[in-house]
Amino acid sequence: MKESEIIELTAQCGFECERAIALKLEASGREYWRLVNKSESLILCFLDPLKGDHLQFTYLADIFKSNNINAPEILMHNPKLGVTIQEDLGDNDLLEILNDSNKYELVKQSLELLNKIQVIEDLNINTLNQSDLESQINLFSEFFCGQFLKLEADDSIRKLSEKTIINLNKQPQLNCHFDYERRNLILSEDMKINIIDFQDLCIGPIGIDLAGILLDHYKPFDEVFVKESLVFYKEESNLDLDHDELFECFRWGGIQRNLRILGTLSRLYIDQNRSFRLNDLTMILQNLIDIIPVGWNCRDFLIDIVKPSLQERLKLI
């Protein structure tokens, strides 16, 4: 949308703003804007009502507030217009501010927050079933390999997908943010980590969110850091898993997540010409390769066939 349209939407909701600054466009189609006036700034989220709604987001925001989960306060929700207006937590997401000197402390805080979210009881949320997990993984073969790279995924990818589903089904199934990555964790002025974009919360394998925070899309996989962080998570969560089992939860959650996201970003480019995340594909693919167990044939396929094809494809865009 244009700035003028957002300002008009804001007025229809009973708020005033002098400027509207575009922040980000999500894969879901949600647009985020900062509303600025003389006294304060707020965040407006717009989603075309024909494509979805904010009902689950507002429901979960209330639940989080009652469970002392740090999240933005919802100031207004207009379902007919497809708008929520929220507290502005600022721009200090962990993707921007995490560095070698603070990463252990901030990731520990993030894991504490994740554990608090995971154990909230009796939520009205969906459960990720085997069909969901399979369809998400298949985005890799259909869109990333097939339509974006013009490659046919070989049998080793099918075997990887099957093994991933088996391992995910063995994991503890808890509340799962489903996109628990550093872009969605914001350090507010009071130095507390807040969670955003939680409308897709579901019941799912713990490894998906562990991979979200510990396997960054923008930096190389750091096995030492991951294992040290999982030691802390084990102490917080009290799950009946040893350290090796927790790492396997992370590993297979990361494989599923990276296969899915490679497919999703490729589909967004193919269907909607959204190229804003294509530069991330190289790191996402490399991290996928690095967490697949050594000796698996799919590593050779990804290294020898897929990786060079991706490099050539990106040169053409």
- In the chain, which ranges are continuous DSSP H helix? 3-12, 55-66, 94-97, 103-118, 130-139, 155-170, 206-214, 223-237, 243-272, 281-291, 297-301, 307-315
pLDDT at 238: 87
Check whether 164 has a pLDDT greater than 80.
yes
Q: Compare 310 and 27 and report the one with higher pLDDT.
A: 310
Segments making up each domain of the chain, as ranges: 3-87, 94-315
Contact 85, 15 (CB under 8 A): yes
Mean pLDDT of the chain: 96
Residue 167 predicted with pLDDT over 80 = yes
Share of the chain above pLDDT 90, in %: 93
- Distance (Å, rounded) from C-alpha 195 to C-alpha 133? 24
Residue 136 has pLDDT above 90, yes or no: yes
pLDDT of 117 over the 80 cut? yes
Going from the C-alpha of 214 to that of each of 11, 191, 239, the distances in angstroms are: 41, 20, 18
Structure tokens belonging to residue 223 = 């096995």
pLDDT at 25: 77
Instruction: Please tell me the distance from the alpha carbon of residue 24 to that of residue 136, in angstroms, as a whole number.
Output: 23
- What digits encode the pLDDT tens for the residues 46-79? 999 999 999 999 999 999 999 999 999 999 999 9
Q: What pLDDT does residue 27 have? A: 74
What the block records as the tokens of 229 is 């962080």
**pLDDT at site 240:** 95
CA angle (84 as vertex; 80, 89 as ends), nearest 5 = 175
94-315 maps to which CATH number? 3.90.1200.10
pLDDT in tens, 21-50: 999 877 778 999 999 998 899 999 999 999
pLDDT of residue 265: 96
Taking 80 as the threshold, does the pLDDT of residue 121 lie above it?
yes
194 alpha-carbon distance from chain centroid: 14
Other Cβ atoms less than 10 A from the Cβ of 270: the count is 14
Residue 184 identity: N
pLDDT interval class at 159 (50, 70, 90): very high
pLDDT digits (tens, 9 = 90+) for 261-274: 999 999 999 999 98
DSSP letter (8 states) at residue 182: G
| Mean pLDDT of the 122-142 span | 96
pLDDT, tens digit, 9 for 90 and up, residues 234-291: 999 989 999 999 999 999 999 999 999 999 999 999 999 988 889 999 999 999 999 9
Residue-level pLDDT at 81: 97
Judged against a pLDDT cut of 90, whether residue 14 lies above it is answered with yes
Per DSSP bridges, beta strands 193-195 and 185-187 are antiparallel
Please report, rounded to a whole number, the percentage of residues in the chain having pLDDT higher than 70: 100
Buried b (16+ CB within 10 A) or exposed e, 55-75: ebbbebbebbeeeebbbbebe
Superfamily of domain 3-87, CATH level 4? Phosphorylase Kinase; domain 1 (3.30.200.20)
SS3 27: coil
Residues 230, 273 contacting (CB under 8 angstroms): no
Alpha carbons within 13 A on the beta-carbon side of 84: 24
User: Residues 6 or more apart from 52 whose CB is under 8 A from it?
Assistant: 28, 29
CB 58 within 8 A of CB 47: no
State residue 24's pLDDT score: 81
